[in-house]
């Protein structure tokens, strides 16, 4: 019985860390370094781990700050801090620990001004979002900025001569994160955010849930599609860079794959933006597919720079990681209990 209780407690800690999406966050500094030419396995592994620590810092701090808001939702009563299984003080300790370990790793392995400065800037922006994300509409752009600098931190560990493709990749992360938080997170949490008095872009743009029916306003839908168009605009701009354009011109398969992914990207977003019944499980499944497709699009655009094996590994790592840890933590492939 004691072993069983330890196992349950460990699962709750992993749920608090949002371990199922940690690999996706960790790809930001990893991809930044890869785009600029880093191929040393130790350096890449350290960057991946630092990215995971940034993920832990951001999500645990967010859980800590949002406890009272989350308590308003019947769907979130099993969350580790809301249920009381893990103490608030422990969550704060984990947050600080993640920052300290990440900074030590940067100082030891990447001892230069740019890497530590950019990482600290990413930490500050992530912290501002956690503190004010439910109080000031539009803080999702601040979090997007955090990921922009997290990706640029990865670039800076290789060179401070930032290339245009590296800036474009960081910008893609920016708009990807803004969409994830403002649109997907806004839709998923709009009901209990409204009840708790939170101020998000979804609420400001008059997204409502009434008697089990969800209504995304025309303004919110236009905002969502606008972000997607900008995201895909940066992808096309990336493909048109001289380092990449030639491969796409000489290999007809690549643009066909990219167009196919674009179609899935818009189909999934159309499905959840135009849902009429508030089905959180269904929403989260659509979100999971949409996020994976977004990442696949970025990787396929970068394929000529990354090469076959790196592209395959990056395609599999966050998606397989996500599916495996979803099953371990929640017993489902695409529906985490968040």
Q: Where are the domains of the chain?
A: 2-330
d(CA 247, CA 53): 35
d(CA 326, CA 234): 31
d(CA 296, CA 284): 18
Which CATH superfamily groups domain 2-330?
Answer: UbiA prenyltransferase (1.10.357.140)
Whether the CA torsion 59, 61, 64, 69 is positive or negative: it is negative
Q: Give Rg (Cα) of the chain.
A: 20
Strand segments, DSSP code E, in the chain are: 208-210, 213-215
Phi, psi of 110 (to 5 degrees): -130, 60
Task: List C-alpha distances in Å: 98 to 73, 92, 325.
Answer: 28, 10, 20
> So what's the pLDDT on residue 1?
40
Asked if residues 148 and 26 have their Cβ atoms less than 8 Å apart, the reply is no
Structure tokens at 293: 């497709």
> So what's the pLDDT on residue 276?
83
d(CA 266, CA 229): 10
Number of neighbouring beta carbons within 10 Å of residue 184: 22
Structure tokens at 27: 């790809």
d(CA 23, CA 321): 7
Return the residue matching tokens 């009840």.
195
**Is the overall model pTM greater than 0.75, yes or no?**
yes
pLDDT digits (tens, 9 = 90+) for 52-67: 999 999 999 999 998 8
HSE-up of residue 69 (Cα within 13 Å, Cβ side):
21
pLDDT digits (tens, 9 = 90+) for 179-207: 999 999 889 888 878 777 888 999 999 99
Identify the segments of the chain with pLDDT beneath 70: 1-4, 73-74, 333-338
């Amino acid at each position: 019985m004691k072993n069983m209780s330890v196992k349950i407690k460990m699962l709750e800690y992993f749920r608090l860390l949002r371990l199922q999406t940690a690999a996706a966050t960790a790809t930001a500094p990893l991809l930044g370094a890869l785009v600029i030419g880093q191929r040393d396995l130790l350096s890449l592994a350290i960057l991946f781990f630092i990215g995971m620590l940034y993920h832990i810092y951001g999500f645990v701090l967010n859980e800590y700050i949002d406890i009272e808001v989350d308590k308003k939702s019947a769907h979130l009563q099993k969350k580790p801090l809301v249920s009381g299984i893990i103490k608030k003080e422990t969550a704060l300790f984990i947050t600080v620990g993640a920052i300290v370990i990440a900074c030590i790793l940067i100082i030891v392995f990447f001892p230069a001004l740019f890497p530590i400065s950019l990482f600290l800037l990413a930490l500050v922006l992530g912290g501002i979002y956690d503190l004010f994300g439910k109080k000031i509409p539009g803080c999702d752009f601040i979090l997007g900025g955090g990921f922009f600098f997290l990706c640029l931190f990865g670039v800076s560990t290789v060179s401070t001569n930032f290339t245009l493709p590296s800036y474009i990749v960081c910008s893609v992360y920016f708009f990807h994160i803004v969409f994830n938080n403002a649109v997907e997170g806004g839709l998923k949490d709009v009901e209990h955010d409204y009840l708790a008095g939170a101020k998000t872009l979804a609420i400001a743009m008059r997204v409502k849930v009434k008697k089990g029916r969800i209504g995304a306003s025309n303004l919110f839908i236009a905002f969502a599609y606008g972000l997607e168009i900008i995201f895909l605009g940066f992808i096309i701009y990336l493909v048109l860079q001289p380092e990449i354009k030639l491969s796409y011109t000489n290999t007809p398969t690549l643009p066909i794959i990219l167009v196919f992914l674009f179609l899935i990207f818009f189909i999934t977003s159309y499905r959840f933006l135009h849902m009429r019944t508030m089905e959180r499980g269904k929403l989260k499944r659509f979100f999971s597919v949409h996020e994976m497709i977004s990442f696949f699009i970025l990787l396929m655009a970068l394929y000529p720079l990354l090469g076959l094996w790196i592209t395959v590994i990056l395609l599999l790592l966050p998606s397989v990681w996500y599916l495996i840890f979803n099953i371990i933590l929640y017993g489902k492939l695409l529906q985490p209990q968040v």
